[in-house]
A and B are shown apart, each in its own frame.
Chain A
C-alpha cells in the first residue's frame, strides 16, 4: 500500500514539474503574432518573469495538486459500468460525483483566470473603465467573462465526460515499458486528445452561451455593480462570437487546461500500473505480509491484488528462478505453502467467474432475456470471495433502487405471477407506443393496476438499457482472471520440467476442471445476443475503453492457457482423473479442434 501511495505522490510531483514547460509553451502560443516575431518573443519573456505570472503559476500548481488528489481518490481498477441510462443518470447525480464536478468547475474558472492574466490585453480584468458621455464608468469586460465561463464549462464537461468514458478506470497494459518511454509514446496522443476535446467543448460552450449568455452576464453585472457598455457588441450574437482572436484564445486556453489535467491523469496511470515485483518468500518473518502469496489472497485494496496477480503472470512467464521459489517446499514441514496459496486463490477467482456466468445465463434463460429483476436480485455474495462482485454491482443496484424504490416492493414478483401476460406485452410494447395505451386499458380491467405499473417501469428501463452493458459488467474485473489464467498455465507448463517435488501434479485435475468449466461457461455466454458483438472503436480520448473488450481477451487467454497445458503434457493428460465430459473437451484440445 505504501508503495502505491508513493507512486501516486511521485506522479503528482512529476506533473507539477512538467507544469513550467507547459505554461511557457502556452504563453508562447497565446501571444503568437506572425508579423512581429521579435516583439512576440520579448513580450513572452517579460510575461514569464512578471509577478502576476508567477502568482498565477502558483495557482496552477495548486490546481494540478488538487487534480492529482482527485485522481488518487477516485481511481479504480474495476470500471463501474452502467447497465442502463437510468443507472448512468444515477451515477451523474451521485453526491460524490457532484462534488467532483463542482470542484472541477471551480478549478476550471481558476485556470481560466490564470490564462486571462497571462494573455493580458483586453482579457486582463473583469471590469474596465470606459469614458462615456457621463464620464468614466466601470464597465463589464465581456471577453474576460467569456473566458472564465468557458473555463468553468470545460472543467465541468471534463468531469462529466470522465464519468461517462470511465476516465477514472485504470487499465493495465499487456506491453510493459519503462515509464519514460511509455510517457513519451503517449504524449502526442494526449496533446491531440486535449486539442480535439477542447474544440468540442468549446463548440458546446459557444452554443450554450449564444442562447443563455445573458443570464450570467446580467448576474455578474448586478452583483458587481458593473455597467454594460452599449458601444461594444455583446458577445452572445453571431458577429460577436465570430471574433477570431477570441476563439483562438478560448481554444488555446481550453487546450492548455485539458492538457495539464490529462498529463496528470496520464502520469498517475503510468506510475500506479507500473509492474511491481513482490518477494515470493519473506526473508524476515515481519515482512511476511508483503510477499506474493499473502498479497494475492488479501482483500484490500484492489490495486494491490491486481499488481500481485500481474507479478504472478510475469514471474511465471519470465523468471525461472522465481518460479523455483513458488514450487519450493517450506523449510520446516515440507509443505508447498506458496504454491497452495497461489493455486487456491487463482482457482477461486476462476470458479467465482464461472459461477457468475452460469447464474447470469440461468437468469437469461429463465426469462428470455435479462430483466432488471436479475440485477436487483443478483445472487448474494457467496462468502468472502466475491469482493469484486459486490463492488461491481453495488452502485448499479443502489442507483436502481433509489430511483424506483416505491414501485418494486409492493409488487410481489409479478413476472412469475403473470408470465403469459407479461411476455407478449413487453415485446409488443417495444414496437410501438400506440399499442401500449390500448393494451393498458384492456389489461387494467383484467388484472388491476399494479402489474401494469411494474411493466411500465420495466419497459422504460428496457428501452433505456445499453446493449452489451450487462455482458461488459460481468467481465468488468476480468483482468484479474486473465492474469490468474496466464500465471497458472505458465506455472503448470513450467512444472513439467522444473517442479522437483511434484507439488503441481496433485492439483492438476482441479486446475484443468476449473479451466474447462470456465471454458464451457464462457462459450455459453458468447452465444447470448450482444455478447459477441464488438463495440465500435472509439476515436482516441483519455477515457480507456479497454474494459469493453475484456471478455474477448479473457476468452482468448482461456483458450491459450488450456492449449499451453495440453501442448506441454500431451498424452500424459490421459492419466489425469477427470469426468468423461471434461475428457471429451480436453481431447478436442489435444487434437487442436477447439
Chain B
C-alpha cells in the first residue's frame, strides 16, 4: 500500500494576514493541529531591508585606475588571485612584454587546461556552475539565491535559534535573553547551511562560500556584535563552496561537504585538523545528514549516486543507479530508517537498516533495495475555490525528533499553477513503519515556504518552523501524545492539548504500512 497525495485532505485557501493568526480550523486541515496564538520567535525579515552582497570575487579591481605594474608584479598577483590559470592568462595577455616562446607556450598550456577542464565538466556538468549557482542548486533551501532567510537552525537542547540572512549576517534569537547577537565575518559569504553543535551551548558551524566557520557565541555575553575572533575558520584547499555541514550527535566531529570536492572532510574542530574521506565517483558531495544515533551518515553526490557511511570505521556503501541525484534525505530518530528523495522524481524512498549499530563491519545487515513509501505526484484536490493542483518534485524532507511527523517541502511550479507547499505526514516507526496523511501547511497568499525545520525542544508534540518567501518565520505546532517513551532529560509527559476537533474519516487510513516479517 503506497501513499499518494490524492488521499490528503484538500488545503484550504488562506485569507488571513499572517499565518499565526489563523484559528485551527481555518488554517490547517489536520484536526489535531492548531497554531499557538503568538510565539516569541515569530520573526520577520523583509526582503527589502536586506542588501545582498553583489560583490564578485575581485570587484575591487574595477574601482582603481589602471596602474602600470611590471610583468613580474602582475604575474605574482595573478598567481595569488587565480592560481596557475591566472598566471598563464596574464602571461598570454601581455605578449608585448614577454619573450615570444613564453607567450606561445603559456597559450598552449592554457588551451590544454581549458580542454581538460571542459572534458571534466562534461563528465560532471555541475562543475561548470559558478560557486553561487552551485550553492543555490544544491542547497536544501528552495530558491536559495533570492531568499531573505538562507538558513535556520534550532539549538538541539535549548530554545535558541540562529537565522542566516541574505546579507550574509547571522542573527541569534533566544527568548530568555534581551540581546540578539549578530554574527558577521569577512569570510562569511553565501551561507548555505548552519548547525549548532550538540552537547554544547555556544558553538555554531556555518557553511560559507569557501570555508567553514565555527562561531563560539557565549550565551552569557551581552555583546550584540561578537568579534570575528570568536569564529574559527576551517578551510581546506579545493573545498569550496561548502554546501552542507553536519555535527556528529555526540558533538565530537564535524563533517563538511562541497560539490567541487570529491572528498568529504571530517573535522576535529578543537584541533582544527581534518581527515578527507576520498571515494571515487560522484564528482563531489552535496548534502550530508547524520543519523540521530550517530552510527551512520548519508552523503549525496551531484550525480546519480549516494553513499551511506558507517561511522565506526568509516566505510561506505554505495547506492548507485538512481534516476537523478539524491536531493534530500532524513533519518528516523532511532537511526534505523533513511528516507530520501531523488531529483526529477515525485516519490519518497526508504531504506531500512536492521543490524544493530556498533557491530564490526556494521553494513552486513544493510538493506538490499530501497522501497517507495510515498508518491507525491501531481493531483488536483477539491477546495472551496475550485480544484488546486498539488504535488510534484520534492525539495527537502524533515522528520520530527520523536518520529511522529514527516514534513515534505514540495517545489511546486509557478507556471503550472502549483504553488510550493509543505505536506505533512503522520508517521509511526514501531512496531511497523506507517505513513498517514496529515495535511498541508500554507502561508499567506502569495508566499511560499522556502525552508523548514522541526524544533527539537518542543515538549507537547512537534513544532515545524517554516521560513517563508516574504521573509517571515513562523512556527506550526502539532500537538499529540507521543507514543514513545519520552526522552530522558527532555521532561515529563507532556500536557494534553489533544484536539477534539472534527474527527475525519481519512485519519484512520493507512497510506503506507510495512509488513512485519
- Min Cβ gap A419→B in Å is 36
Q: Are B488 and A497 in contact (CB under 8 A)?
A: yes
Q: Which residues of B contact A553 (CB under 8 A)?
A: 268, 270-271
Q: Are B250 and A546 in contact (CB under 8 A)?
A: no
| Contact stretch, chosen from A59-67, A173-181, A253-261, A342-350 | A173-181
Q: Which residues of A contact B314 (CB under 8 A)?
A: 175-177, 181
Judge if B251 is at the interface, Cβ distance under 8 Å: yes
| Contact stretch, chosen from B58-66, B273-281, B377-385 | B273-281
Smallest Cβ-Cβ distance to A589: which chain B residue: B201
CB contact between B275 and one of A173, A318, A490 (< 8 Å): that residue: A173
Q: Are B201 and A552 in contact (CB under 8 A)?
A: no
Task: How many A-B residue pairs have C-beta atoms within 8 angstroms? Tell me.
Answer: 100
| Contact stretch, chosen from A119-127, A288-296, A388-396, A554-562 | A554-562
Judge if A503 is at the interface, Cβ distance under 8 Å: no
* Alpha-carbon gap, A184 to B312, bound state (A): 18
Q: Are B489 and A560 in contact (CB under 8 A)?
A: no
Smallest Cβ-Cβ distance to A554: which chain B residue: B270
Judge if B104 is at the interface, Cβ distance under 8 Å: no
* Alpha-carbon gap, A163 to B123, bound state (A): 46
CB contact between A569 and one of B276, B313, B315, B489 (< 8 Å): that residue: B489
Interface majority SS (helix, strand, loop, mixed), chain B: loop
- Min Cβ gap A280→B in Å is 14
- Min Cβ gap B360→A in Å is 9
- Min Cβ gap B196→A in Å is 10
Judge if B200 is at the interface, Cβ distance under 8 Å: yes
Q: Are A592 and B278 in contact (CB under 8 A)?
A: no
Q: Are B201 and A592 in contact (CB under 8 A)?
A: yes
Q: Are B200 and A559 in contact (CB under 8 A)?
A: yes
Q: Are A174 and B488 in contact (CB under 8 A)?
A: no
Interface majority SS (helix, strand, loop, mixed), chain A: helix
Smallest Cβ-Cβ distance to B314: which chain A residue: A177
Q: Which residues of B contact A490 (CB under 8 A)?
A: 250
- Min Cβ gap A326→B in Å is 14
Give the contact-size bracket for chain B. 35 or more
Judge if A593 is at the interface, Cβ distance under 8 Å: yes
Q: Are A176 and B312 in contact (CB under 8 A)?
A: yes
Judge if B219 is at the interface, Cβ distance under 8 Å: yes
Contacts A178-B315, A318-B358: A185 and B250 contacting too (C-beta < 8 A)?
Answer: no
Q: Are B489 and A318 in contact (CB under 8 A)?
A: no
* Beta-carbon contacts under 8 Å, A519-552 to B: 534, 537, 546, 549-550, 552
Chain B 252-283 near chain A by CB (<8 Å), digits 1 or 0: 11000000000000101111110111100000
Of A318, A564, A568, most B-chain CB atoms within 10 Å: A318
Q: Which residues of A contact B271 (CB under 8 A)?
A: 546, 549-550, 552-553
Contacts A497-B488, A592-B219: A175 and B275 contacting too (C-beta < 8 A)?
Answer: yes
Q: Which residues of A contact B253 (CB under 8 A)?
A: 174-175
Q: Are A560 and B252 in contact (CB under 8 A)?
A: yes
Chain A 171-197 near chain B by CB (<8 Å), digits 1 or 0: 001111110010011000000000000
* Alpha-carbon gap, A592 to B489, bound state (A): 13
CB contact between B272 and one of A177, A534, A592, A593 (< 8 Å): that residue: A534
CB contact between B269 and one of A185, A319, A556 (< 8 Å): that residue: A556
* Alpha-carbon gap, A94 to B80, bound state (A): 43
* Alpha-carbon gap, A557 to B252, bound state (A): 7
- Min Cβ gap A201→B in Å is 24
Judge if B220 is at the interface, Cβ distance under 8 Å: yes
Q: Which residues of B contact A320 (CB under 8 A)?
A: 356, 358
Beyond known contacts A318-B358, A560-B250: 20 more, CB 8 A cutoff? A174-B266, A314-B312, A318-B357, A319-B358, A549-B272, A552-B271, A556-B269, A557-B252, A557-B270, A559-B200, A560-B200, A560-B251, A563-B201, A568-B488, A569-B488, A592-B157, A592-B160, A593-B201, A593-B219, A594-B202
Give 9 CB contacts A-B under 8 Å.
A175-B275, A177-B314, A318-B358, A496-B488, A549-B273, A556-B270, A592-B157, A593-B220, A594-B219
Hey, which bits of chain A sit against chain B, CB under 8 A?
173-178, 181, 184-185, 314, 317-320, 486, 490, 496-497, 534, 537, 546, 549-550, 552-553, 555-557, 559-560, 563-564, 567-570, 591-594
The 8 A-B pairs with the shortest beta carbon distances in the complex, nearest first, are A570-B489, A556-B270, A563-B199, A318-B358, A592-B201, A552-B270, A553-B270, A592-B158
